[in-house]
Structure 1
Amino acid sequence: MSTRETSAGDDPIIESRDQLVAPMQLGEKPKSAWRIGTEHEKLVYKRDDFRAPSYDEPCGIRDMLLNMQKFGWEPVEEGGKVIALKGADGAVSLEPAGQLELSGAPLENLHETCNETGRHLKQVKEVGDACGVGFLGLGMWPDKTRAELPIMPKGRYDIMLRHMPRVGSMGLDMMLRTCTIQVNLDYSSEADMVKKFRVGLALQPLATALFANSPFTEGKPNGYLSYRSHIWSDTDPHRTGMLPFVFEDGFGYERWVDYMLDVPMYFVFRDGKYIDAAGLSFRDFLDGKLSVLPGEKPRQSDWWDHLSTAFPEVRLKSFLEMRGADGGPWNRICALPAFWVGLLYDQGALDAAWDLVKDWTMDEREALRSAVPKLALDAPVPGGGRLQDIGKEALAIARAGLAARARLNTSGDNETGFLETLDEIVASGKVPAQRLLDCYNGEWAGDMSQVYKLSF
């Protein structure tokens, strides 16, 4: 989640609807300027007893952040406490229970993306080794209850933690127990955004299946392959889901603004503090009728903040976010941007990907989304067959798209090699969670502590 530092003194008051549309319009870039932003989260644990470290304890989360300054990271504070870092590779931030996230810099190709990921993991491993801390690439804590997890000192999280139980049964699990990999991608025009958004939504269940990696809850199999994905089904219906209106005629920036105005607020950031506005209306805010700030109208930064508080399968800000994947190890961190860049950044591939899904009805898309958390690649798809079949076609399209981009490293290799781990998953039909379950039922003999051997 994004981290605010200060309130800008020159932040304009929103006076017109044009200012609400502006962030999306400002995202338009020529193809030569398209970039790749990759975000990935990790579970942090103490190696001696596998518990999640608190923020304040010696060699806890705070000390890890401070120790990373030796790599050139600069601290970001809230209320006098370091809650994030910023640097050349983007930002390092904290999720609610101390999950560590790299929000990578916007990069030109996947070779740079994977190098960035490698640098980050090398840095956190060095800092972690000095503190007896390890990191897991999973979609969800495999053995922790909510009560066993610490809470990070970020004001927006306090508000969200209070609000989540009012709107769904699993919002606290989303905040405290899950990890994801996400990819942020550009578009050249409103029409280009619309097509990429539709392809991204329709094929997001495939990404969820390929990266399914959360089959355990509190030390036991939970009956799902991506429980992280299942959690979103009862987190907050006002800000999640497959967004049927995206597939309707006339969808574009204006319709996205209408959707976001209907998403209830979480907070307003003023003078370095978060004001609880959970459940209130941004429309009322525009009219100066927000109960927690009576008579005050929103500033541009308030709208940017609000755009970050919806959590659908694909999200639009000044770029598109692909949000369907569980967290995973190093090679799958690189594979997710390869999948989406291959499908969306070459026009021939984008057209072919749309042809693959354009005839699906909304009911069929919803049914696939609902089936994937349990069935992954075995989920039935519109027209017959299984998602594994669609996976083979989608990966072939992505591979062609990456080959057409012809972004080479110093050895002369293009970007297609980053898809190899996904090729193996689709060929076998066995997703990462199924391999974990094989271990649990086999060599681990039900001993969940063995999962920590998968540490980075």
Structure 2
Amino acid sequence: MTTRATTEDLELPMESRADMIGLFSKGEKPKDRWRIGTEHEKFVYFTDDKRAPSYEEKGGIHALMIGLTRYGWEPIYEGENIIALGGPDGNISLEPAGQFELSGAPLDNLHETCAETGRHLQQVKEVGDQLGLGFLGLGLWPDKIRAELPIMPKGRYKIMLEHMPRVGTMGLDMMLRTCTIQTNLDYSSEADMVKKFQVSLALQPLATALFANSPFLEGKPNGFLSYRSHIWTDTDRARTGMLPFVFEDGFGYERYADYMLDVPMYFVFRDGKYIDAAGLSFRDFLKGELSVLPGEKPTLTDWTDHLSTAFPEVRLKSFLEMRGADGGPWNKICALPAFWVGLLYDQTALDAAWDLVKHWTIEDHQRIRDDVPRIALEAKGPRGRSLRELGKIVLDIADAGLKARNRTNAIGDTEQGFLDPLREIISSGKVPAQRLLDSYHGAWNGDLSRVYDDMSF
């Protein structure tokens, strides 16, 4: 979840729709300034009893945050509580039930991204070893019921936890029981944003399939390969989904702003506190008619806050966020940005990917999205081609895109090697969740506690 941060520019009042749209256009960057941002979450547990730690208890989440300050991380407070850390590697933040997230810094290449991931995991493991904490790389808590999970002391989460049951059946599961990997990428113009948005939204179900890693719920198989992805189908339909309008003629900054104006609000932040605005209209806020702040109009910070409260498969801020992958081990954290950078940061690769999906219908997009959580690579694309077949083509395109980028490390390796875990999945036809199920029914002999040995960092 986004850690709230403001700058003087963003505190300016919004005067018109142009201010809202201007936030997107200000994100435009020339190609030599495009960067890679990677976010990844993991579950935290006590190694002795596998319990999820609360914020306050001895050896819990607060102690973990304090322990990380030895590496130069600076605390970020909400009231008296440390709710995030800032440093040269980005931000560390807390998801609602204490899922631990690194929102990495914007970096030039995938070698830097994977090194950043390694530094972070080494740091949390060193502190965790001292506190008796472990870290699990999955897309879903495999064995916890919601009542067993703690709640972190963040004002926005209190509002969301109260609102979620009003708008869907699985919003609390999304907040409390899931982890994801996410990639954030830049664009050079509105037209470039549009093409990247369309390609990444069309291929997001393929990414979900390749990274499917959430086959267990409350101690047993749940019938899905990515239950995390399934959860999003009934979280809050006003702020989730495949966004059919993205594929329509004329899509651009203004159309996305219109979509966001129709997404109901969650909150407004004033004087260090979150004010409950759940279900209210940002359009009313623009007119100074928001019931919880009568007569007051939004700032650009309020708009950026609101942009962070929609959860489609791809999200636009002043960059694009690819949001379709389950949490997983270190090599998957490095593989997700490799997948998207290869497809989107080389023009020839982007054009080839667009040629692959440009004739798909809205019905095609939705059908694939609906099928993937349960059957992953066996889902069928247009003309009956499986996602496994499609995935081989897409990985070849991504590989060519990374080769063309020619970003090498100190020993001359290109970025292409970061795709190797995905090539193995396509070659075998087995996504991570299927391998976990094989272990559960085989070597583990139905003992799901073994997942902590096999899937911890």
TM-score, scaled relative to structure 1: 0.99
Shift of residue 7 of structure 1?
A: 8.5
Q: Which residue number corresponds to residue 238 of structure 1?
A: 238
Q: For residues 9 and 100 of structure 1, what CA distance do their matches in structure 2 show?
A: 30
Q: For residues 233 and 373 of structure 1, what CA distance do their matches in structure 2 show?
A: 10
Q: For residues 297 and 82 of structure 2, what CA distance do their matches in structure 1 show?
A: 30
Contact 1:143–1:217 (CA under 8 A) maintained in structure 2: yes
**What SS does the corresponding residue of 1:161 show, helix, strand or coil?**
helix
**What SS does the corresponding residue of 2:311 show, helix, strand or coil?**
coil
Residue 423 to residue 353, structure 1, CA distance change in 2 (3 Å): same
Q: For residues 205 and 3 of structure 2, what CA distance do their matches in structure 1 show?
A: 28
Q: For residues 61 and 334 of structure 1, what CA distance do their matches in structure 2 show?
A: 25
Q: Which residue number corresponds to residue 270 of structure 2?
A: 270
Q: For residues 287 and 339 of structure 1, what CA distance do their matches in structure 2 show?
A: 42
Shift of residue 45 of structure 1?
A: 0.3
Residue 189 to residue 256, structure 1, CA distance change in 2 (3 Å): same
1:319 partner amino acid = F
1:18 partner amino acid = A
Q: For residues 226 and 201 of structure 2, what CA distance do their matches in structure 1 show?
A: 17
- How many residues are matched? 456
Q: For residues 5 and 35 of structure 2, what CA distance do their matches in structure 1 show?
A: 24
Q: Give runs of aligned pairs for residues 169-208 of structure 1, distance below 5 A.
A: 169-208=169-208
Shift of residue 304 of structure 1?
A: 0.6
Contact 1:209–1:377 (CA under 8 A) maintained in structure 2: yes
Q: For residues 232 and 384 of structure 2, what CA distance do their matches in structure 1 show?
A: 26
Q: For residues 5 and 416 of structure 2, what CA distance do their matches in structure 1 show?
A: 38
Contact 2:146–2:176 (CA under 8 A) maintained in structure 1: yes
Shift of residue 22 of structure 1?
A: 1.2
2:147 partner amino acid = A
Residue 10 to residue 191, structure 1, CA distance change in 2 (3 Å): closer
**What SS does the corresponding residue of 2:245 show, helix, strand or coil?**
helix
Q: For residues 99 and 390 of structure 1, what CA distance do their matches in structure 2 show?
A: 33
Q: For residues 378 and 3 of structure 2, what CA distance do their matches in structure 1 show?
A: 38
Q: For residues 37 and 259 of structure 2, what CA distance do their matches in structure 1 show?
A: 24
**What SS does the corresponding residue of 2:383 show, helix, strand or coil?**
coil
Contact 2:6–2:301 (CA under 8 A) maintained in structure 1: no
Q: Give runs of aligned pairs for residues 82-161 of structure 1, distance below 5 A.
A: 82-161=82-161
Unaligned runs of 5+ in 1: none
The answer on 1:455 being equivalent to 2:442 is no
- CA distances 1:338-383 after superposition (whole Å, capped 9, x unpaired): 0000000000000000011111100011000000000100001111
- CA distances 1:165-221 after superposition (whole Å, capped 9, x unpaired): 000000000000000000000000000000000000000000000000000000010
**What SS does the corresponding residue of 1:315 show, helix, strand or coil?**
strand
1:344 partner amino acid = L
**What SS does the corresponding residue of 1:14 show, helix, strand or coil?**
coil
Q: For residues 4 and 262 of structure 1, what CA distance do their matches in structure 2 show?
A: 22
**What SS does the corresponding residue of 2:48 show, helix, strand or coil?**
coil
Q: Which residue number corresponds to residue 250 of structure 1?
A: 250
Q: For residues 423 and 326 of structure 2, what CA distance do their matches in structure 1 show?
A: 17
Q: Give runs of aligned pairs for residues 342-353 of structure 1, distance below 5 A.
A: 342-353=342-353
Q: For residues 353 and 9 of structure 2, what CA distance do their matches in structure 1 show?
A: 45
Q: For residues 78 and 5 of structure 1, what CA distance do their matches in structure 2 show?
A: 11
Contact 2:288–2:296 (CA under 8 A) maintained in structure 1: yes
Shift of residue 409 of structure 1?
A: 0.3
Q: For residues 254 and 269 of structure 1, what CA distance do their matches in structure 2 show?
A: 25
Contact 1:7–1:272 (CA under 8 A) maintained in structure 2: no
- CA distances 1:256-314 after superposition (whole Å, capped 9, x unpaired): 11000000000000011000000000000001110000111111100010011100000
Contact 2:97–2:152 (CA under 8 A) maintained in structure 1: yes
**What SS does the corresponding residue of 1:102 show, helix, strand or coil?**
strand
Q: Which residue number corresponds to residue 284 of structure 1?
A: 284
Q: For residues 25 and 92 of structure 2, what CA distance do their matches in structure 1 show?
A: 27
Shift of residue 10 of structure 1?
A: 7.6
Unaligned runs of 5+ in 2: none
Q: Give runs of aligned pairs for residues 417-432 of structure 1, distance below 5 A.
A: 417-432=417-432
Contact 2:10–2:300 (CA under 8 A) maintained in structure 1: no
Shift of residue 318 of structure 1?
A: 0.2
Q: Which residue number corresponds to residue 226 of structure 2?
A: 226
1:371 partner amino acid = D
Q: For residues 7 and 270 of structure 2, what CA distance do their matches in structure 1 show?
A: 6
The answer on 1:357 being equivalent to 2:362 is no
2:390 partner amino acid = I
Shift of residue 4 of structure 1?
A: 2.1
1:416 partner amino acid = Q
TM-score, scaled relative to structure 2: 0.99
Residue 34 to residue 5, structure 1, CA distance change in 2 (3 Å): closer
Q: For residues 225 and 14 of structure 2, what CA distance do their matches in structure 1 show?
A: 44
Q: For residues 20 and 257 of structure 2, what CA distance do their matches in structure 1 show?
A: 7
**What SS does the corresponding residue of 1:202 show, helix, strand or coil?**
helix
Q: For residues 310 and 164 of structure 1, what CA distance do their matches in structure 2 show?
A: 13
Q: Which residue number corresponds to residue 398 of structure 2?
A: 398
Residue 7 to residue 342, structure 1, CA distance change in 2 (3 Å): closer
Residue 356 to residue 6, structure 1, CA distance change in 2 (3 Å): closer
